[in-house]
Structure 1
Amino acid sequence: MTDQAVDTSGPAGAPGTKGATGAGTTQFFGRERELQALRADIERAGLDTLSGRKVPRARVLLIAGRPGSGRTALAAELARGLVASGKYPDGPLRVRLTEPGGARIPTERTARDLLDLLHVPVPPGAGQDELSGLVRTALADRRALLLFDDAVDAEQVDPLLPDNPDCLVVATAQGPLTGIPDVRPCTIGGLSADASVQLLRRAIGQVRITVDPRTAESLGEECGGQPAALVLIAGWLAARPNASVADVTRQLRELPEDGDPNTGARPLARAFRLVYSSLPQSAARTLRLLALAPAGLADAHTASALAGCSVTAARTTLDDFVRLGLLHTNGAALAQYEVPGCVAPMLRALMTELDRSAEVQLARARMLERTVRQLQSCRAITDPEGSPARRKLAGLPRSLRFPHPETAAEWLRSRRPALLASARVAVEDGELDTLARRLVAALVRALAAHEGTEAAAPDLYGLHGLVLDVAERRELPREQAAALLNLGDLDARTGRTRAALARYREALDAGRAARDPYATGRAMESVAGAHAELGDWHRAGDWYGRALAQRLTQGDRAEEARLYGRLGSVHTYAGRYGEALRDWRAAAARYRRLGDRAGHARALSEAARVQEYAGRPQESLHTCRDAVEWARKAGDVRLEAALQLRLADTLDRLGEPAAAQLHRNAADRLLDEGEGSASAYEIRSASTES
């Protein structure tokens, strides 16, 4: 088969793809007139140029046609030629605008896919306007070709158009994109008779075409010249060497009409029915259930779980589907199969008609459970040898284990779009919330283990939002509080402090409803931190005081010491030095009771700083000397050296330069002994420590 001749609606392994679409062979049939017209449109002056105005945005070419007409293939062929000519060295960049089931993809997700392809960091939790603005900024100085596949309307395309006339946008859609000025439309129908016969010849060989060339042309007409229908029929013939072109033409004609008023869609529907009816019962059921594949992407494990068969049998069945033209594959070592966008609605209709809802739900549950186990295995391989997770991993079936962390990371990268889609679909389903929660938790852990929380933050934000949806629907206040705290932390990290504050207040309410002291205390601290970030020291001190009052009832001295330190810092910033000194002394006392000499030294150092701010340099000098002594007892050379330098600064301000020099010399000796540097250590207040 050739995916260039068939409508390749759907991502070739991912929603966003850098490079030409599709996989496998690059042979392309027909469409010479359309390609020539599209290339001519690129060179033709636009309306702005003709009117003497500066071209403000990228030019948009539209390839319009029904699913199965080869519109995506034509866009890919056009892109290949333009990129090969060197006109657009920063492309092509392809993104899907429609799910395989027909639902429109939110613009923020499309923008995020584009930013990933452009290697631009994506702020977690950013909205549509911010993300589309980042896309335009990233493309402002590039010469990129963008493929927007299967657009529903102009509202999906317009926010992503680069403000750069050196870029080119090629969009595919079923109809016009009304609302985008100066769009260059190219409406395509069926292939020519010669191209249709050429496609059949490539799949089944010359002999059967030469024997009956007229019937081959009739078969092309029977398929309406639609590439997707021709590919399906060619796959059916290739699997039956003894069948003639006349046989399949007759069978197509004998198929009863399905009553679909859309006559243009009938050739594809008839070809699909012919191929589907020839499948064994088990294979037909597997094909129908692939309508459940997240984002239209499946691998052998997905098919195995859906059909309830072995992974080997599932892989064989999927490869058979590829040969029949029912699926596409990327052909990589970690093979991933794609349900064509023109086939997906027919699969879903068959599944609804022939499979009981309970069986469909069971298949979906098996798929989610298999995905959870794969994610657990993906994360466990990052643990050290002999760890409990690795021992548990050894007990899993071989097909679920990853031999190396690198293999697991590559699987996670390649399956990431499908995994994220699986989490979204599981939560939207609403009937498998327990599995959905386990899936999201496993995906969060796997992403954090392989990519780190910073790199995975945009995905983690969306996953925490899914957890919140389930928690609210199921009235699980503890999980609701945890999700809100995680979302608030990500908002705070990206500078959306007021949004974070709102999240923290909601988390506090949820923690109180759950009677969870940890969540409640954590929420109060986070509220305090947000107020501190906003410079509202009075409210920050009030909330830290509430969090401290709760900790005092629990008898956790380490937490008490930490919160006393946070209070001391807030009071210092607010200029309330008396209260700050009291808090730092309380923190020092608790560190001393805990036997934490280094913590005791740091708290004393902060107390000395407050005394100095308050205009009591002699008391500050005395307290700082105590801090040096405790640092010496703790054996922390770098801390002792930093405190010696602070002592020197204090003595300088007191007019004792000779004594100050002695302490600087002592600090140098300590740093030389510890092979450190004066800038390698910094006294930090507890307000900056987690």
Structure 2
Amino acid sequence: MTDQAVDTDGVRPAGRAAEESRFLGRTRELKELRADIERAGLDTLSGRKAPRARVLLIAGRPGSGRTALAEELVRQVADRYGDGVLRTRLSGHDGTPVPVARAARELLAALDLPAPAGAYEDDLAGELRTALADRRALVLLDDAADAAQVDALLPDTPECLVVAVSGGPLTGISDVRPCTLGGLDTKSAVELLSRYTGSVRITVDPRAAESLVEECQAQPAALRLAGGWLATRPQAAVADLAKQLHTEGDEGTPLSRVFRLVHASLPAASARMLRLLALAPAGQVDPHTASALAGCSVSDARSALDGFVTLGLLRPVTSPLPQYEVPGCLYPLLKRLTETLDRPGELQLARARMLERTVRLLQSCRTITETDDAEAREKLQAMPPSVRFPTPRAAEEWLRARRPALLAAARLAVADGELDTLARRLMSQLVRAMVAHFGTRAAAFDLYGVHRLVLDVAERQKLPREQAAALLNLGDLDARTGRTRKALARYRAALDAGREANDPYATGRAMESVGGAHLELGDYDRAADWFGRALAERLARADQEGAARLYGRIAVAHTYAGRYGEALRAWRAAIAGHRRSGDVAAHARALSEAARVQEYAGRPEESLLTCHEAVELARRAEDVRLQAALQLRLADTLERLGDPASAQLHRGAAERLLAEEPRDPEAPEGPESADDLKQLGDACEIRSASTED
């Protein structure tokens, strides 16, 4: 997803001005497409309002300049759509269809809207349609594999326009007339050649240039390769290249014939590197990827990649770091050559080198965020200079720029099946790096996909401990997005895997999570029971902090069930545990919750005393949010006891504390804020006046 124009069949322009000057020909097609925007659709002709967005289809083979035409059309009409232009690709560089869920997520991200982790395809597509319902936007769907992909992403409003690029018709979508592309007109094709060769070589032999255009069938991608080949050979005549292509006959397409000629003219090392770029995840290449694949230095790889750009074999990507893309039209040709000329063992070794380098870069990317730790600094210094990042910001820029390729690398490594050890290391470091730089919430959508891949490998390799960890992580993400029953199923599966692995931590964590899911579902008895099982496991391991926390969770379940006497006993046990462990902040929070339960139980005087004790501990812990929440609770309690003057003083103190310490929007939700405390109090309505102790 990018705001920068992308020419799928040529070099990416550096900006809008460059794009405007680089576009050639297609005058008739542009005129027809613009007229198609204005023409009345079938619904309008029948007197009905169009229920969905108009779809313009640009159809053509890869290499025909179809994306360049789509981008030029978008540039010309974008000012009519005040809510901007959204772009996504619906096929990978290898032609594999992109899942609709991933495409919808990319479009939602462009609108600065979150996509729930693990959401179903229909839900994400529905959220996208809802987001676009009141907008006037232009949506470019590049390289659509079939009509179903486009149909799922169509806005339900005629105010939006969809420009789809595909290899053929989108049968099933009504009122779509394809603009089918052939070659460029001769004048534009010759001008495209001259941009590489210079005007003099064309002027001295215009017939040879026209002959070369004819051999290339005026296809832009073939002309770019021919122009690049001529640009690197100033002494070669245009007629010589046209003659060489003519002698090859009609074997293959014009693009494949020019590509074979260019590949054959490369030095052996460069030709091998070029072929190995077919292994680059998502078709995205940087000097490190090329270096690892070819087994050469990073600087040599960078020089070779720049040379490929000159030849039209790669296109540079607008990015803070050197990055390139393999044109989709060249990928099948590269793959065919790789399968023919390179041995499977060499290809597997190249993949392993690439994954190993990626693991080290991810480790460095994460470690640069931990420089406050002496051990982390030592690890960073021990890494080779070529994989070290100078600053955390540089590491984050690299991670953000390489995100699609890194996720694709994880998918490919898991699908390979023969590099599971490297795949596990890669996914582990990828999760850690994304959490370190983006945070769990921001990276949740991507993390969900990575954890599913981890689960696939763990099940394939029969690794119950890793299986349990993946299930717990997936369950947590399901729980955060409201899929509580699905989370419960994952937690139960994690419990079975933890027991199989004889892993007490995973087992205890799973039991606690099962309890939390039951609590969310309103089954308070089962919640308390599962929290009790987890507590027994923590006590057996002499984990005081964990046990104190679980006493608190048991108390919450009893509170929701209206069993205030049992809740108070559990809170007292939690308070004792936090006191023994010396966790002042947790001690203060436990006291505040005990005060709440005392109030529910009809003991306002006891609640008042407990609140005062909690305020003092919160002050010692420097927990301003908790201090403010407790001051508000004191105010409410004093009002009920008939002391409005004192209540007003405490309320004023809470407001001053909150004004001095605004809430961090990235901070996790918890009972320490005044709003959270009030919400929990409202949810736990007093179900009885029991004073059982």
The TM-score normalised by the length of structure 1 is 0.88
- Residues 366-400 of structure 1 deviation map (CA, whole Å, 9 limit, x = unaligned): 11111111112222222235632233222333332
Decide whether aligned partners of structure 1 residues 255 and 662 sit closer, same or farther in structure 2, where only a CA change above 3 A counts: closer
- How far does residue 552 in structure 1 lie from its aligned partner after superposition? 2.4
Identify which of 62, 77, 82 aligns with 2:72: 77
Whether the 8 Å contact between 1:9 and 1:149 is mirrored in structure 2 is no
Identify which of 454, 464, 482 aligns with 1:467: 454
Decide whether aligned partners of structure 1 residues 489 and 197 sit closer, same or farther in structure 2, where only a CA change above 3 A counts: same
Distance in 2 separating the partners of 1:121 and 1:671: 32
- How far does residue 555 in structure 1 lie from its aligned partner after superposition? 2.1
Distance in 1 separating the partners of 2:11 and 2:517: 41
- How far does residue 662 in structure 1 lie from its aligned partner after superposition? 7.0
Decide whether aligned partners of structure 1 residues 586 and 12 sit closer, same or farther in structure 2, where only a CA change above 3 A counts: farther
Identify which of 159, 164, 187 aligns with 1:194: 187
- Residues 153-197 of structure 1 deviation map (CA, whole Å, 9 limit, x = unaligned): 101100101112122111111111100000021111112222222
Distance in 1 separating the partners of 2:662 and 2:206: 87
- The one-letter amino acid of 1:70's match is G
For the pair 1:8 / 2:3, whether they are aligned, the reply is no
State the match for 2:689 in structure 1. none
State the match for 1:500 in structure 2. 487
- Residues 429-450 of structure 1 deviation map (CA, whole Å, 9 limit, x = unaligned): 1111111111112111221122
Identify which of 90, 93, 99 aligns with 1:106: 99
State the SS of the aligned residue for 1:382. helix
Identify which of 605, 621, 627 aligns with 1:621: 605
- The one-letter amino acid of 1:80's match is R
- The one-letter amino acid of 1:123's match is P
State the SS of the aligned residue for 1:450. helix
- The one-letter amino acid of 1:621's match is E
- Residues 582-641 of structure 1 deviation map (CA, whole Å, 9 limit, x = unaligned): 3223333434444556655654554454444344x3xx6357536745865897387789
Identify which of 58, 61, 74 aligns with 1:63: 58
Whether the 8 Å contact between 2:368 and 2:389 is mirrored in structure 1 is yes
1:185-584 mapped onto 2 (5 Å cutoff)? 185-255=178-248, 258=251, 266-330=253-317, 332-384=319-371, 387-584=374-571
Distance in 1 separating the partners of 2:83 and 2:492: 45
Distance in 1 separating the partners of 2:26 and 2:676: 68
Identify which of 141, 163, 166 aligns with 1:148: 141
Whether the 8 Å contact between 1:299 and 1:336 is mirrored in structure 2 is yes
Distance in 1 separating the partners of 2:583 and 2:215: 84
Decide whether aligned partners of structure 1 residues 677 and 296 sit closer, same or farther in structure 2, where only a CA change above 3 A counts: closer
Distance in 1 separating the partners of 2:567 and 2:514: 20
For the pair 1:31 / 2:15, whether they are aligned, the reply is no
Whether the 8 Å contact between 2:595 and 2:610 is mirrored in structure 1 is no
- Residues 183-231 of structure 1 deviation map (CA, whole Å, 9 limit, x = unaligned): 0211111122222222112211222222222222111111111111111
1:87-166 mapped onto 2 (5 Å cutoff)? 87-166=80-159
Decide whether aligned partners of structure 1 residues 214 and 56 sit closer, same or farther in structure 2, where only a CA change above 3 A counts: same
Distance in 1 separating the partners of 2:384 and 2:540: 48
Decide whether aligned partners of structure 1 residues 23 and 307 sit closer, same or farther in structure 2, where only a CA change above 3 A counts: farther
- The one-letter amino acid of 2:574's match is A
Distance in 2 separating the partners of 1:413 and 1:561: 40
Whether the 8 Å contact between 2:614 and 2:630 is mirrored in structure 1 is no
Decide whether aligned partners of structure 1 residues 300 and 51 sit closer, same or farther in structure 2, where only a CA change above 3 A counts: same
- The one-letter amino acid of 1:79's match is V
Decide whether aligned partners of structure 1 residues 623 and 599 sit closer, same or farther in structure 2, where only a CA change above 3 A counts: farther
Decide whether aligned partners of structure 1 residues 250 and 674 sit closer, same or farther in structure 2, where only a CA change above 3 A counts: closer
Decide whether aligned partners of structure 1 residues 252 and 5 sit closer, same or farther in structure 2, where only a CA change above 3 A counts: farther
Whether the 8 Å contact between 2:638 and 2:647 is mirrored in structure 1 is no
- The one-letter amino acid of 2:366's match is R
Whether the 8 Å contact between 1:150 and 1:174 is mirrored in structure 2 is yes
- The one-letter amino acid of 2:356's match is E
Distance in 1 separating the partners of 2:582 and 2:188: 84
More displaced 10-residue stretch of structure 1: 503-512 or 207-216:
207-216
- The one-letter amino acid of 1:224's match is Q
More displaced 10-residue stretch of structure 1: 134-143 or 63-72:
134-143
- How far does residue 571 in structure 1 lie from its aligned partner after superposition? 0.9
Decide whether aligned partners of structure 1 residues 529 and 208 sit closer, same or farther in structure 2, where only a CA change above 3 A counts: same
Distance in 2 separating the partners of 1:682 and 1:271: 70
- The one-letter amino acid of 2:609's match is R
- The one-letter amino acid of 2:369's match is T
- The one-letter amino acid of 2:125's match is S
- The one-letter amino acid of 1:31's match is R
State the SS of the aligned residue for 1:199. helix
Structure ranking higher on relative contact order (CA contacts 8 Å, 6+ apart): 1
State the match for 1:263 in structure 2. none
Distance in 1 separating the partners of 2:596 and 2:496: 37
Distance in 2 separating the partners of 1:173 and 1:521: 52
Distance in 1 separating the partners of 2:433 and 2:627: 41
Decide whether aligned partners of structure 1 residues 490 and 643 sit closer, same or farther in structure 2, where only a CA change above 3 A counts: closer
State the SS of the aligned residue for 2:58. strand
State the SS of the aligned residue for 2:22. coil
- How far does residue 556 in structure 1 lie from its aligned partner after superposition? 2.1
Decide whether aligned partners of structure 1 residues 594 and 108 sit closer, same or farther in structure 2, where only a CA change above 3 A counts: closer
Distance in 2 separating the partners of 1:647 and 1:427: 56
State the SS of the aligned residue for 2:170. coil
The TM-score normalised by the length of structure 2 is 0.88
Decide whether aligned partners of structure 1 residues 648 and 304 sit closer, same or farther in structure 2, where only a CA change above 3 A counts: closer
Distance in 2 separating the partners of 1:347 and 1:654: 81
Whether the 8 Å contact between 1:433 and 1:470 is mirrored in structure 2 is yes
Whether the 8 Å contact between 2:524 and 2:558 is mirrored in structure 1 is yes
Decide whether aligned partners of structure 1 residues 577 and 56 sit closer, same or farther in structure 2, where only a CA change above 3 A counts: same
- How far does residue 577 in structure 1 lie from its aligned partner after superposition? 2.7
More displaced 10-residue stretch of structure 1: 461-470 or 203-212:
203-212
Distance in 2 separating the partners of 1:665 and 1:7: 66
State the SS of the aligned residue for 2:143. strand
- How far does residue 650 in structure 1 lie from its aligned partner after superposition? 5.6
State the match for 2:164 in structure 1. 171
Whether the 8 Å contact between 2:571 and 2:594 is mirrored in structure 1 is yes
- The one-letter amino acid of 1:139's match is L
- Residues 19-72 of structure 1 deviation map (CA, whole Å, 9 limit, x = unaligned): 97x987841222111111111111111111111110111111111111111111
Decide whether aligned partners of structure 1 residues 211 and 125 sit closer, same or farther in structure 2, where only a CA change above 3 A counts: same
- The one-letter amino acid of 1:587's match is A
- How far does residue 93 in structure 1 lie from its aligned partner after superposition? 2.3
Whether the 8 Å contact between 2:82 and 2:136 is mirrored in structure 1 is yes
- The one-letter amino acid of 1:441's match is S
- The one-letter amino acid of 1:127's match is Y
Q: What percent of counterpart residues are identical?
A: 64
More displaced 10-residue stretch of structure 1: 592-601 or 199-208:
592-601
